[in-house]
Amino acid sequence: MKIKWLFTTLLILLMIAVIGRMVHHGAPYFEFTNAFACQLSLILLLATAFLHRFDKKLVIRWFLFVLLYALIPLTQLFTGEKVHSHAFMASFFFGSFIFCSICNLVYLIRIIKNNTVRRILLAVPSFLWFLSLIYPMMFYGYTMVEHAVFDQPIVSAIVHTNPIEVVSYLTSNYSASELVLYLSGIFVFAALLVYLAVKMNSSAAARELSAGQFVPAVAVALCCSSILAVSTVQLSNKGFDCLARQIISFANYVANSYTEFRDSRIRLAQSTVVELKNPEMKPSLFVLVIGESASSRFLQSYGYPQPTDPVTTEFLHKNELTGADLENPKSLNSINSINFTHAYSSYPQTIESLSLSLSGANQYNGKVLNEMLTLIDAARLAGFETFWIGNKQSESVGFTPPVTRIAQTADHSLFIPDSYIPKYGKYPYDEEILNNLPQLNPDRNTLVIINIKGSHTKYFERYPEKFDVFHDDPDAVINEYKNSLLYSDFVLSQLLDHFKSQPGFSAFIYFSDHGVEPAFKGDDHNVSKFTFSMVTIPFWVALSDKYVGDNAGTVRAMLDNRDKCFTNDLIYDFMLGLMGIRIESLDNREVDITSSSYSIDRQNCLTLYGKQRIDNDPKY
Ligand SMILES: [Zn+2]
């Protein structure tokens, strides 16, 4: 009887706490802070303990389960990250919160009298137990194998990858026997967890329910509060300030970002005024080639001692635009190059870096993808016909990556491997792009974006035998990397040759999504093993003589800025400047390298999404 009263009092307190919180912060958007989340978890724990009458078995299981979560921050400590003690506390309460929620769900299902219905429904908590047991294991497993923390970039890399890349990653990092060992280990482990998950149900409500209305009512109330709290945690980016909760929020954010992207595009397109600086200049053709994993540290055109990109090197040298050419337009070549000498990527991974390159979001304005217009939408609003040709698959594991979403908004988009792989059973070489170049409309301004596969791991799968040229390095992977760069050089020169003779040709631009540290093999652009080689990239532009003549001011600014620091999140601003697209509400002159007001240089240039200063690069 006493327990009943105590328990009821606690429940009322819980409700008062929740409702009070909601009222205080303006229901229903009450703030779910770390402290509040932990308090809620504590009350839930007490309530659950009373509900289950302090069942000894249950208490032991609770302790082991919570320990599994509470120790997750150790993986951060182990890899040298600073961890606040409250992260352990939050992790502890987060684990406890999950445990109690599922326990109470089991309790509720146990009330059902019909045997069949009850058994079927009990599969739900079994599945939840399984998920909640395997989840913390991912953190420990990843840290054990990779000596790094399982954090947001890893989740992002996983959701943005596709099955071919997964196989390629695994086979380039582990031998066949290691793989068999790991996979069978995982299988045995998963089987053990399934067994445990079923077991957990039996113990959670081991005792017979007492008759009467009170207990079921309490169970319902508890479940409701659990569900309320779970959905709040899911919706909120706050509460339980620990890695375990942050990863769930991040995965949730990624899953919802597609609808957000679609809605924000429509809103932005309607509310943004876009115009052309020289509307009478028609047609003009701009070609933007996005490289993959090309580190300028390994490119001859950026001072590497071997001919890893001989055609580009010669082209950039022979056609280099000088200040004197601008003074005397008659000395211009038909095509003129500007090589930007200090180009970096904003992040060492494709999706993160290109989401910024292709949208108005950048490291300096602190905006994110969905808040800003994309390059393709800006070009379309300015009347350009837009093309996207990618030698990348459009889909990841059941998920459309942001870059694909942007690509699909072009008037015409083509993802070569989507149809190539089913037909030929292998990944196409980049020269397949040459067979798929679009027919351009000579009466319209045109933007063509080409996304090559470049030097993506595994390097040796990126080029045909003819380009197996380098054998001098003791590390075979370095040789393969250089071969892949040599092949990209060939593809680039073919693309340039094709487009420069097209009507209205104005500019051809090349930059890479990020660099790599090729010696790190499958971890060549793993953020947790960051080196500056992962973010040093090539960035150059080839301009027609007509473009130079018509846009002397823009070209002069580019020449003046060519040795300043540049990060590829500013490709958007660069392209708008180059294409003469003006957005009424956007004052981006300080980050637009085609503007004389460009003010990014070594001292304020950033990478790693603003977390690392380029000034720290010892090889700047
Ligand atoms: Zn990439």
Under 8 Å between Cβ of 246 and 467: no
Q: Encode 305-325 in three state secondary structure.
A: CCCCCHHHHHHHHHCECCHHH
Q: For 359-388, how does the pLDDT look when each residue is reduced to its tens digit (9 = 90+)?
A: 999 999 988 888 889 999 999 999 999 999
Q: Which two tokens stand for residue 345?
A: 């990527």
Query: Distance from the CA of 512 to the center of ligand 1, in angstroms?
Result: 8
Least confident of 89-98, 333-342, 393-402, 582-591: 393-402
Query: Distance from the CA of 436 to the center of ligand 1, in angstroms?
Result: 22
Query: Distance from the CA of 230 to the center of ligand 1, in angstroms?
Result: 35
> What is the rounded (10 degree) CA torsion for 438, 439, 443, 448?
10
User: Is the pLDDT score of 219 beyond 60?
Assistant: yes
Q: pTM for the whole thing?
A: 0.75
Under 8 Å between Cβ of 482 and 306: yes
Residues 224 and 203: their CA atoms lie apart, in Å, by 22
Query: Distance from the CA of 362 to the center of ligand 1, in angstroms?
Result: 18
User: Is the pLDDT score of 292 beyond 60?
Assistant: yes
Query: Distance from the CA of 62 to the center of ligand 1, in angstroms?
Result: 43
* CA-to-CA dists, residue 191 to 130, 153, 194, 552, 595, angstroms: 10, 29, 5, 69, 61
Mean pLDDT of the residues in the chain:
87
Residues 386 and 409: their CA atoms lie apart, in Å, by 9
The pLDDT, as a whole number, for residue 508 is: 98
412: phi then psi, degrees, rounded to nearest 5: -135, 120
Query: Distance from the CA of 323 to the center of ligand 1, in angstroms?
Result: 34
Q: What residues pair up with 342 in beta bridges, in sequence order? A: 565
Maximum alpha-carbon separation in the chain? 100
Query: Distance from the CA of 347 to the center of ligand 1, in angstroms?
Result: 10
User: Is the pLDDT score of 29 beyond 50?
Assistant: no
Query: Distance from the CA of 293 to the center of ligand 1, in angstroms?
Result: 5
Query: Distance from the CA of 431 to the center of ligand 1, in angstroms?
Result: 18
User: Is the pLDDT score of 494 beyond 80?
Assistant: yes
Residues 6 and 13: their CA atoms lie apart, in Å, by 11
Which is more confidently placed, 170 or 579?
A: 579
Residues 125 and 546: their CA atoms lie apart, in Å, by 69
Residues 155 and 139: their CA atoms lie apart, in Å, by 11
User: Is the pLDDT score of 22 beyond 80?
Assistant: no
The pLDDT, as a whole number, for residue 87 is: 86
Name the band, by pLDDT with cuts 50, 70 and 90, for residue 28: very low
Query: Distance from the CA of 534 to the center of ligand 1, in angstroms?
Result: 10
Least confident of 117-126, 168-177, 524-533: 168-177
Query: Distance from the CA of 348 to the center of ligand 1, in angstroms?
Result: 7
Query: Distance from the CA of 344 to the center of ligand 1, in angstroms?
Result: 13
Least confident of 152-166, 214-228, 559-573: 214-228
92: phi then psi, degrees, rounded to nearest 5: -60, -50
Query: Distance from the CA of 515 to the center of ligand 1, in angstroms?
Result: 8
Closest to 95 (Cα-Cα) out of 235, 214, 248: 248
Under 8 Å between Cβ of 406 and 358: yes
Q: Which amino acid is at 304?
A: Y
Query: Distance from the CA of 594 to the center of ligand 1, in angstroms?
Result: 25
Query: Distance from the CA of 510 to the center of ligand 1, in angstroms?
Result: 14
The pLDDT, as a whole number, for residue 387 is: 96
Q: Which two tokens stand for residue 587?
A: 């004052």
Which is more confidently placed, 258 or 357?
A: 357
> Is residue 339 classed as helix, strand or coil in its secondary structure?
strand
Name the band, by pLDDT with cuts 50, 70 and 90, for residue 19: low
The pLDDT, as a whole number, for residue 315 is: 97
Residues 77 and 68: their CA atoms lie apart, in Å, by 16
Least confident of 78-92, 192-206, 463-477, 511-525: 192-206
The pLDDT, as a whole number, for residue 211 is: 52
User: Is the pLDDT score of 24 beyond 60?
Assistant: no
- Rg over alpha carbons for the chain, rounded to the nearest Å, is 29
Query: Distance from the CA of 406 to the center of ligand 1, in angstroms?
Result: 16
Closest to 359 (Cα-Cα) out of 417, 272, 435, 282: 272
User: Is the pLDDT score of 206 beyond 50?
Assistant: no
User: Is the pLDDT score of 25 beyond 70?
Assistant: no
First to last CA, the chain: 75
Q: Which two tokens stand for residue 138?
A: 């991912």
Query: Distance from the CA of 452 to the center of ligand 1, in angstroms?
Result: 10
Query: Distance from the CA of 417 to the center of ligand 1, in angstroms?
Result: 16
Query: Distance from the CA of 487 to the center of ligand 1, in angstroms?
Result: 17
Residues 403 and 387: their CA atoms lie apart, in Å, by 14
The pLDDT, as a whole number, for residue 15 is: 66
Q: Which two tokens stand for residue 233?
A: 């945690």
Query: Distance from the CA of 404 to the center of ligand 1, in angstroms?
Result: 13
Query: Distance from the CA of 514 to the center of ligand 1, in angstroms?
Result: 6
Query: Distance from the CA of 79 to the center of ligand 1, in angstroms?
Result: 25
Q: Quick one: average pLDDT of 395-399?
A: 61
User: Is the pLDDT score of 79 beyond 60?
Assistant: yes
Residues 287 and 541: their CA atoms lie apart, in Å, by 10
Query: Distance from the CA of 272 to the center of ligand 1, in angstroms?
Result: 30
Q: Quick one: average pLDDT of 134-148?
A: 90
Under 8 Å between Cβ of 43 and 101: no
Least confident of 76-85, 405-414, 457-466: 76-85
Query: Distance from the CA of 355 to the center of ligand 1, in angstroms?
Result: 12
What is the set of domains in the chain, with CATH numbers? Answer: 2-255 (no CATH), 284-616 (3.40.720.10)
Query: Distance from the CA of 397 to the center of ligand 1, in angstroms?
Result: 17
The 8 Å CB, 24+ separation contacts for 188-197 are 189/137, 190/134, 193/130, 193/133, 193/134, 193/137, 194/130, 196/129, 196/133, 197/126, 197/127, 197/129, 197/130, 197/133
The pLDDT, as a whole number, for residue 337 is: 97
User: Is the pLDDT score of 253 beyond 80?
Assistant: no
User: Is the pLDDT score of 356 beyond 80?
Assistant: yes
The pLDDT, as a whole number, for residue 40 is: 77
User: Is the pLDDT score of 548 beyond 70?
Assistant: yes
Query: Distance from the CA of 454 to the center of ligand 1, in angstroms?
Result: 9
DSSP state, residue 297: G
Residues 548 and 321: their CA atoms lie apart, in Å, by 10
Query: Distance from the CA of 600 to the center of ligand 1, in angstroms?
Result: 24
The pLDDT, as a whole number, for residue 132 is: 93
